[in-house]
């Protein structure tokens, strides 16, 4: 059995004796090392929540965005190498523009995701370019198709989801998401739940301070991708802090 770094892992053009493409698997590890991002699809829209690490007190709040828009009707959220993620969002915008130029219509989400998956997968075929070290979630809401949420992984595989979590704490986040009754939630209620999940999975003892970034595409935002308004975020954060059990074992208040 070939393990890590046994010579079959230098380019994406090499299969290992077990039929694995290690470079693509390593790219997926980049995503697993990143801080967590979650996306959920509820009855009237899609919400993204990102756990942003504050690496320096000198950073202006809101900088280093992990969400982006494609056109104005599709939202995207990144986990992994953010710079790679921005490249993907740029490509998505380019696809959306060329689709609109051709058809005069906004690109449907499943068409966009199909093209982006192929774009990402193409980078796993050649020795001269490396795979993307990020996973990107895409979401949209319109009257005709309702809410839709997709995830594109570094291998180029994409699926539609009801709820999705990527990054370090994705397992715990997924467990929390499964507890929710997604089809009955509205966006307003869901914002609080998303904030609560992010606060729950954030490990205060191990990680640095975090900033919560949330965006939505829903009925309330008129089908446009926007950052969740500040007052709603504040309300959600309060709800989260009130309802999250601290993961710290040592809590000096109780001793």
Partner 1 sequence: MTSSAFGFDRHISVFSPEGRLYQIEYVYTAIRAAGNTTIGVRGEETVCVVTQKKVPDKLTDPTTVTSMFTITNNIGCAMTGIRADMKTAVQRLRYFAHRFEYENGFEIPVSHLARKMADFFQLFTQHAFMRPLGLAITLIGIDEEVGPQLYKIEPSGYFLGYKATCVGQKEQEGTNFLEKKIKKETKLNKDETIQLAISSLQSVLGVDFRPSDIEVGIVEKDSPKFTLLSEELIDSHLTAISERD
Q: Which of 164, 197, 201, 240 binds partner 1 (CB under 8 A)?
A: 164
Q: Which of 30, 35, 121, 193 binds partner 1 (CB under 8 A)?
A: 121
Query: CA-CA distance, 63 to 42, in Å (whole number)?
Result: 28
* From 17-25, 74-82, 100-108, 186-194, span contacting partner 1 (CB under 8 A): 17-25
140 binds partner 1 (CB under 8 A): no
25 binds partner 1 (CB under 8 A): no
d(CA 179, CA 26): 31
Which residues does residue 146 pair with via DSSP β-bridges, in sequence order? 142
**Footprint (CB under 8 A) of partner 1, residues 55-94:** none
Q: Cβ of residue 76: shortest distance to partner 1, in angstroms?
A: 17
Among 65, 87, 174, 224, binds partner 1 (CB under 8 A): 174
Would you count residue 12 as binding partner 1 (CB under 8 A)?
A: yes
Least distance to partner 1 from the beta carbon of 7, Å? 7
Nearest to 207 by CA among 195, 216, 215, 198: 198
- Is residue 34 within 8 A of residue 80, CB to CB? The reply is yes
Q: Is 20 in the site for partner 1 (CB under 8 A)?
A: yes
Q: Which of 51, 41, 92 has its CA nearest to residue 208?
A: 51
Inter-residue contact 53 to 227 (CB < 8 Å)? no
């Amino acid at each position: 059995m070939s393990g890590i770094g046994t010579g079959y892992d230098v380019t994406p053009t090499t299969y290992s004796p077990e039929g694995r493409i290690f470079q693509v698997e390593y790219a997926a590890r980049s995503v697993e090392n990143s801080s967590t991002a979650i996306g959920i699809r509820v009855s009237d829209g899609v919400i993204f929540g990102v756990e942003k690490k504050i690496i320096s007190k000198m950073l202006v709040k809101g900088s280093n965005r992990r969400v982006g828009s494609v056109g104005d009707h599709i939202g995207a959220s990144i986990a992994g190498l953010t710079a790679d993620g921005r490249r993907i969002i740029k490509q998505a915008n380019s696809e959306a523009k060329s689709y609109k130029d051709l058809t005069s219509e906004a690109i449907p989400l499943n068409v966009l995701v199909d093209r982006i998956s192929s774009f990402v997968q193409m980078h796993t075929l050649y020795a001269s370019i490396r795979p993307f070290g990020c996973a990107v979630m895409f979401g949209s809401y319109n009257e005709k198709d309702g809410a839709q949420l997709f995830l594109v992984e570094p291998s180029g595989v994409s699926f539609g989801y009801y709820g999705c979590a990527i990054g370090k704490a994705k397992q715990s986040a997924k467990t929390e998401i499964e507890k929710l009754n997604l089809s009955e939630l509205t966006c307003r209620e869901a914002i609080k739940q998303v904030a609560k999940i992010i606060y729950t999975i954030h490990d205060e003892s191990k990680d640095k301070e975090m900033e919560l970034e949330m965006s939505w595409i829903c009925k309330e935002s008129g089908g446009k991708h926007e950052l969740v308004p500040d007052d709603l975020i504040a309300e959600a954060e309060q709800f989260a802090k009130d309802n999250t059990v601290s993961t710290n074992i040592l809590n000096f208040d109780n001793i």
